[in-house]
């Protein structure tokens, strides 16, 4: 049994036996403002990362990880990214494994209860990440496991990446994360499972097609229609499938127009994967009267393609369309958590309104009674008015105590998209000259060197451009 | 009664004047690009792209008098503006320009890129209505940057106008042209094909021919 399984087994044992209650984890309880304060600090370390000052970022996150908090999984993920960018793949892998272990229960609805017992009363505030963040955790982890020679656990990781991307009670949203499917296929290839390889590779190609810019709007329309029909069915309304059928036919026709020759290098024999980081991750912001709604905003980048010269000899393309992080982050429709937050906001608004009405009416009753004279009725009236004002104050207080602000913590040390270059290279040192383009126009260039080993199932090279 | 009619008529005229804006006695002119379509002697491959920050015209605020300036085309999709440029250049095949539809968010290979000689980047587009005493002009303005392959510097920047004019259908009655924004943009893009400075750049400064229509 390898180390990964051991870690999982120990983790599961701890969860099941309840030894990992919050008092054992020693979680430092944080208020919303304290969580915000940590985020403010993290923001400066994120800045250091994008300035390529990885050591400052790593040290900064270490200070944030001194105490176990509800944001620790997030900072572990970001620190892991900084380690990887700095060339320390081993520590990066270990940090990702730690973060994954902390969050595993939340990614699986069946074991969420045990995850909540693991985190105790703080579980509601734990950073869990959106599906796209969870998928990228597993893709990064899988790549680093492959680079470390662990094919079986890498395969499990790439499968988990797809599961995270397709979680829905109705299975309306199937994974279209092409990179996870392509890497899953590669693992099957290494395990000589040709049938499974073909299936996974075909899924990766299909994901490339349906997320292609020429098809995106059609596929989005199809998802909306499917979702609407699902709601209709729940409400007992008969389906109107003509529109859906027309959309499916249109999509089918457009699928064949996508240039698959562009991704033909994916189906070659290779031992190295150059992973090109492009741009910055999408950002989350609060909107709504009380900041109760969460919106994810794309972070578009000027440079949208790369060409790579290998060892100053031949050129290859950085392949797009397998891991468009912004697209993955913004095309899943409203997530369930938004509805819950909207209800809380409505409760807060109702509390404020009730409070205002009671205080105003109470004051009016009390004033009118006071003006009426000094008899028994006036005293009772003043008492009733005072009571109404008190109740109004309580209602107002309840409203102000209700926390409705959406959680905008996110794994910000992620790219806008990842491009990949599969390469078959001899062992030894190799140099990659990478040119970045805005469409047809050259905009930037940088170089990366890496040692290729013939002992690894896959040599993974992460290339991050100069900003 | 007659007085009442005069007052009503005066109100009507004032209202119409407010809605359509003051009518100019003389319509402002736009640059002339010639009436002849020009052509490249040998076919040339060009790519058309949207600029990174291409957006629909932005709603302006108020003018000096505090009146809201209505901006036309704020909802016009920027990608449509680029697609129309591709269509116009492609349709005018006799101009010798072979257009690559490259408005696909960078899904192009190195091999495809090396086929292209010149790159046209649509930077902005805007619309303007001009009401004159002798007709109405519906204008479109576009700005473009021109690049050569493997060079990140702008070689030329162009500011081009296109115009649709109302026509008199008798007794001083003007037939208003279609207010379609796409039609105005088409006119502006067609101006490019009549503009020697643009065509010389696209045709590699070679001899440019004329197509008589």
> Residue A273 in contact with residue A459, Cβ under 8 Å?
yes
Whether chain A has a CB inside 8 Å of the CB on B66: the answer is no
Give whichever of A433-447, B89-103, B105-119 has the largest mean pLDDT.
A433-447
Nearest residue of B to residue A442, measured between CA atoms: B152
pLDDT band at A369 (very low <50, low <70, confident <90, very high): low
pLDDT score for B92: 76
**Mean pLDDT on A402-418:** 86
**Nearest-neighbour CA in chain A from B125: distance (Å):** 20
Nearest residue of A to residue B148, measured between CA atoms: A441
pLDDT score for A25: 63
Q: Which residues, 6+ apart, have CB-to-CB distance to A88 below 8 Å?
A: none
pLDDT at A7 > cutoff 60: no
pLDDT at A167 > cutoff 70: no
- Rounded to whole angstroms, the Cα distance separating A175 from A132 reads 10
Cβ-based neighbour number of residue A119 at 10 Å: 24
pLDDT at A126 > cutoff 60: yes
**Mean pLDDT on A227-252:** 75
Residues of B in contact with A212 (CB under 8 A): 107
Residues of A in contact with B55 (CB under 8 A): none
**Mean pLDDT on A317-344:** 68
Tell me the per-residue pLDDT of A68-79, one tens digit each, with 9 for 90 and over. 999 999 999 999
A442 vs B108, B121, B152: nearest CB = B152
For residue A167 the two structure tokens come to 């979680």
pLDDT band at A218 (very low <50, low <70, confident <90, very high): confident
pLDDT score for A342: 45
Residues of B in contact with A441 (CB under 8 A): 49, 119, 121, 147, 152
Largest Cα–Cα distance in chain B?
A: 80
B104 vs A213, A317, A442: nearest CB = A213
Residue A440 to residue B119, Cβ atoms within 8 A: yes
**Nearest-neighbour CA in chain A from B15: distance (Å):** 40
Residues of A with CB under 8 A from a CB of B: 212-214, 259, 262, 300, 302, 304-305, 307, 315-317, 320-321, 437-443
Give whichever of A183-192, B154-163, B199-208 has the largest mean pLDDT.
A183-192
Give whichever of A45-59, A349-363, B130-144 has the largest mean pLDDT.
A45-59
Residue B49 to residue A440, Cβ atoms within 8 A: yes
pLDDT score for A146: 97
The average confidence (pLDDT) of chain A is: 83
pLDDT score for A14: 43
pLDDT band at B129 (very low <50, low <70, confident <90, very high): confident
Residue B113 to residue A300, Cβ atoms within 8 A: no
For residue A275 the two structure tokens come to 């992973």
Task: Return the percentage of chain A with pLDDT > 70, whole number.
Answer: 74
**Mean pLDDT on B178-202:** 87
φ/ψ (deg, to 5) at A356: -60, -45
Cβ-based neighbour number of residue A284 at 10 Å: 17
Query: From the CA atom positions of chain A, what is the Rg in Å?
Result: 27
For residue A97 the two structure tokens come to 């494994």
The more confident residue out of A432 and B70 is A432
The more confident residue out of A312 and B23 is A312
pLDDT band at A1 (very low <50, low <70, confident <90, very high): very low
pLDDT at A67 > cutoff 70: yes
**Nearest-neighbour CA in chain A from B180: distance (Å):** 24
pLDDT band at B178 (very low <50, low <70, confident <90, very high): low
For residue B19 the two structure tokens come to 């809605």
User: Helix H segments across A128-193?
Assistant: 131-147, 151-165, 178-190
pLDDT score for A244: 80
The more confident residue out of A451 and A286 is A451
Mutate to test the interface with B, among A433, A440, A442, A443 (most CBs of B within 10 A): A440
Residues of A in contact with B52 (CB under 8 A): 300, 302, 438
The more confident residue out of A79 and A327 is A79
**Nearest-neighbour CA in chain A from B152: distance (Å):** 5
A320 vs B49, B106, B116: nearest CB = B106
pLDDT score for A196: 97
Residue B110 to residue A259, Cβ atoms within 8 A: no
**Nearest-neighbour CA in chain B from A421: distance (Å):** 12
**Mean pLDDT on B64-83:** 82
Residues of B in contact with A304 (CB under 8 A): 105-106
DSSP-derived 3-state class of residue B39: strand
pLDDT score for B48: 92
Task: Return the percentage of chain A with pLDDT > 90, whole number.
Answer: 51
Q: In chain A, where are the structural domains located?
A: 215-257, 268-467
pLDDT score for A413: 97
Task: Return the percentage of chain B with pLDDT > 70, whole number.
Answer: 69
**Mean pLDDT on B159-166:** 84
Question: Residues of B numbered 101-130 whose beta carbons fall under 8 angstroms of chain A's beta carbons: which are they?
Answer: 102, 104-110, 113, 116, 119, 121
- Rounded to whole angstroms, the Cα distance separating A397 from A359 reads 12
The average confidence (pLDDT) of chain B is: 79
The more confident residue out of A206 and A225 is A206
Residue A212 to residue B49, Cβ atoms within 8 A: no
DSSP-derived 3-state class of residue A268: coil
**Mean pLDDT on A79-84:** 98
pLDDT at A343 > cutoff 50: no
**Mean pLDDT on B113-120:** 92
pLDDT score for A335: 34
Cβ-based neighbour number of residue A206 at 10 Å: 15
**Mean pLDDT on A237-266:** 85
pLDDT band at A403 (very low <50, low <70, confident <90, very high): low
pLDDT band at B97 (very low <50, low <70, confident <90, very high): confident
Establish how many alpha carbons lie within 13 A of residue A41's alpha carbon, considering only the half-sphere containing its beta carbon.
16
Residue B105 to residue A300, Cβ atoms within 8 A: no
pLDDT at A121 > cutoff 90: no
Which segments within chain B are labelled E, that is strand?
A: 37-39, 44-50, 97-101, 118-132, 135-148, 156-165, 167-168, 174-175, 209-211
**Mean pLDDT on B122-147:** 85
Q: Which residues, 6+ apart, have CB-to-CB distance to A362 below 8 Å?
A: A384, A385, A386, A387, A388, A389, A390, A391, A392
Residues of B in contact with A439 (CB under 8 A): 47, 49, 102, 106, 108, 119
Residue A441 to residue B119, Cβ atoms within 8 A: yes
pLDDT score for A365: 61
Whether chain A has a CB inside 8 Å of the CB on B153: the answer is no
pLDDT score for B23: 57
pLDDT score for A171: 54
CATH T-level topology, domain B40-211: Double Stranded RNA Binding Domain (3.30.160)
The more confident residue out of B21 and B134 is B134
pLDDT score for B17: 45
Strand ranges of the sheet holding A459-463, from the earlier edge strand across to the other edge: A319-324, A417-423, A272-278, A459-463
pLDDT at A363 > cutoff 90: no
The more confident residue out of A58 and A338 is A58
pLDDT at A337 > cutoff 50: no
Whether chain A has a CB inside 8 Å of the CB on B77: the answer is no
pLDDT band at A118 (very low <50, low <70, confident <90, very high): confident
pLDDT score for B210: 62
pLDDT band at A373 (very low <50, low <70, confident <90, very high): low
B107 vs A320, A441, A442: nearest CB = A320
The more confident residue out of A109 and B30 is B30
Tell me the per-residue pLDDT of A183-196, one tens digit each, with 9 for 90 and over. 999 999 999 999 99
pLDDT score for A109: 63
The more confident residue out of A395 and A281 is A281
pLDDT at A199 > cutoff 90: yes
Tell me the per-residue pLDDT of A379-399, one tens digit each, with 9 for 90 and over. 666 666 666 666 666 555 555
Mutate to test the interface with B, among A441, A444, A445 (most CBs of B within 10 A): A441
**Nearest-neighbour CA in chain B from A304: distance (Å):** 5
């Amino acid at each position: 049994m390898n180390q990964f399984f051991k870690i999982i087994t120990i983790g599961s044992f701890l969860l099941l036996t309840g030894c990992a209650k919050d008092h054992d984890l020693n979680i430092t309880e944080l208020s919303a403002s304290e969580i915000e304060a940590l985020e403010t600090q993290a923001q400066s370390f994120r800045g250091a990362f994008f300035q390529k000052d990885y050591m400052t970022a790593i040290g900064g996150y270490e200070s944030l990880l001194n105490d176990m908090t509800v944001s620790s999984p997030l900072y572990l993920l970001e620190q892991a990214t900084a380690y990887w960018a700095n060339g320390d793949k081993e520590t990066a892998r270990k940090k990702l494994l730690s973060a994954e272990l902390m969050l595993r229960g939340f990614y699986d609805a069946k074991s969420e209860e045990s995850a909540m017992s693991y985190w105790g009363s703080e579980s509601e505030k734990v950073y869990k990440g959106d599906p796209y963040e969870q998928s990228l955790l597993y893709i990064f982890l899988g790549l680093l496991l492959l680079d470390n020679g662990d094919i079986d656990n890498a395969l499990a990781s790439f499968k988990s990446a797809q599961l995270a991307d397709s979680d829905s009670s109705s299975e309306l949203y199937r994974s279209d994360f092409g990179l996870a499917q392509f890497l899953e296929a590669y693992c099957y290839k290494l395990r000589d499972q040709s049938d499974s390889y073909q299936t996974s590779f075909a899924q990766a190609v299909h994901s490339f097609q349906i997320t292609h810019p020429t098809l995106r709007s059609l596929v989005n329309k199809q998802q909306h229609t499917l979702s609407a029909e699902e709601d209709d069915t729940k409400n007992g309304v008969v389906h109107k499938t003509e529109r859906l059928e027309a959309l499916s036919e249109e999509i089918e026709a457009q699928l064949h127009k996508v240039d698959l020759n562009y991704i033909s290098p994916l189906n070659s024999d290779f031992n190295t994967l150059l992973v090109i980081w492009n741009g910055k991750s999408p950002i989350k912001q609060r909107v709504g009267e009380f900041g109760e709604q969460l919106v994810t905003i794309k972070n578009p980048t000027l440079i949208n393609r790369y060409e790579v010269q290998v060892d100053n000899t031949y050129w290859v393309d950085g392949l797009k369309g397998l891991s468009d992080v912004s697209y993955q982050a913004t095309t899943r429709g409203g997530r369930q958590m938004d509805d819950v937050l909207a209800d809380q906001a409505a409760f807060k608004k109702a509390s404020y309104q009730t409070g205002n009405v009671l205080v105003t009416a109470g004051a009016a009753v009390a004033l009118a009674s006071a003006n009426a004279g000094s008899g028994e009725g006036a005293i009772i009236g003043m008492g009733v008015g005072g009571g109404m004002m008190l109740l109004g104050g309580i209602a107002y207080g309840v409203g102000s105590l209700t926390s409705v602000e959406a959680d905008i913590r996110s794994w910000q040390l992620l790219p806008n998209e990842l491009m990949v270059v599969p390469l078959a290279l001899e062992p030894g040192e190799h140099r990659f000259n990478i040119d970045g383009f805005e469409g047809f126009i050259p905009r930037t260039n940088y170089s990366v060197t890496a040692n290729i080993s013939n002992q690894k199932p896959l040599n993974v090279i992460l290339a991050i451009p100069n900003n | 009664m007659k007085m009442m009619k005069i007052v009503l008529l005066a109100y009507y005229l004032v209202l119409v004047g407010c809605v359509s804006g003051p009518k100019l006695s003389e319509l402002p002119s736009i640059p002339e690009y010639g009436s002849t379509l020009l052509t490249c002697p040998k076919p040339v491959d060009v790519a058309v792209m949207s600029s990174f920050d291409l957006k629909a015209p932005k709603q302006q605020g108020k003018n000096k008098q505090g009146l809201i300036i209505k901006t036309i085309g704020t909802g016009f999709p920027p990608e449509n503006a680029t697609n129309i440029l591709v269509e116009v250049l492609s349709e005018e095949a006799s101009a010798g320009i072979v257009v690559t539809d490259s408005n696909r968010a960078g899904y192009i290979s190195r091999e495809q890129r090396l086929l292209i000689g010149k790159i046209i980047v649509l930077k902005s587009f805007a619309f303007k209505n001009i009401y004159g005493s002798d007709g109405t002009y519906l204008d479109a303005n576009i700005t473009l940057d021109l690049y050569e392959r493997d060079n990140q510097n702008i070689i030329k920047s162009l500011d081009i106008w296109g115009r649709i004019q109302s026509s008199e259908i008798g007794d001083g009655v003007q037939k208003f042209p279609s207010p379609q924004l796409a039609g105005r943009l088409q006119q502006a893009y067609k101006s490019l094909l009549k503009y020697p400075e643009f065509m010389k750049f696209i045709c590699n400064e070679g001899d440019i021919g004329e197509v008589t229509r």
